[in-house]
Amino acid sequence: MSDLIKDLSELRLSYQKGELHEDRVETHPHAQFLIWFNHALEAQLHEPYAMSLATASVQGRPHVRTVLLRGATEAGYDFYTNYDSQKGKDLAENPYAELLFYWQEQERQIRIGGKVVKISEAESTDYYHKRPRDSQIAAHISTPQSGVIESREVLQQRFEQLQSQVEGKSELNKPVFWGGYRLEPDYYEFWQGRPNRLHDRLSYEKQQDVWMLKRLMP
């Protein structure tokens, strides 16, 4: 294997695209989230709704992966998955998690932490039926998620078999092992890259139903 990268210490950028001031942000962190999220949408960034989800098992072993934001309100931030996945197992044991949005083109990131709860079966079913038909089929055959499968060909065969079986059916039932979660936030951190690594970091922490705003060291 060729060693293309010999020294990473010289790889760096100087961030120049923005700044973040305490007196220019919203008092409620969700309102500030919406401002930045809408900026990302308006800039047509690639999948600005993609977010890293960090969970940990009851033993404290962390797991992180990318999922898609599918709902955002003051009550929380929604995503969907297989309940039997690693993330589902982690959340059953330890219901606290963190989300990370990173928008490289705007030199911004947002961390959101809190407790995760399952959303209602009705909400999960409603979203499931909004998904493309092939995505609905994939949810049925991709179980147990993260389980070992013999080959890509076996997975494709399962998909095509179910696809054939449900052809002509107007609606598929949502799998019982699939549905949504909502992270109910109690912590936010907004990060804006600045020159000389003097980055702006503002945190909001919920204390007795009041959001406390603080500036953090970069």
Catalytic residue numbers, as ranges: 197
> Binding site membership for FMN: which residues?
65-70, 80-81, 87, 109, 145-146, 191, 201
- CA dist., res. 67 & res. 95, Å (int): 17
Nearest to 156 by CA among 168, 138, 177, 175: 138
User: What stretch of H or E contains 214?
Assistant: strand 210-215
- CA dist., res. 113 & res. 100, Å (int): 9
**DSSP, res 212:** E
**How many beta carbons lie within 10 A of that of residue 1, not counting itself?**
3
- CA dist., res. 39 & res. 144, Å (int): 37
> Binding site membership for substrate: which residues?
12-15, 70, 127, 131, 135, 197-199
- Contact between residue 28 and residue 211 where contact means Cβ atoms under 8 Å apart: yes
Query: Amino acid identity of 61?
Result: R
**DSSP, res 24:** G
**How many beta carbons lie within 10 A of that of residue 94, not counting itself?**
15
- Contact between residue 19 and residue 106 where contact means Cβ atoms under 8 Å apart: no
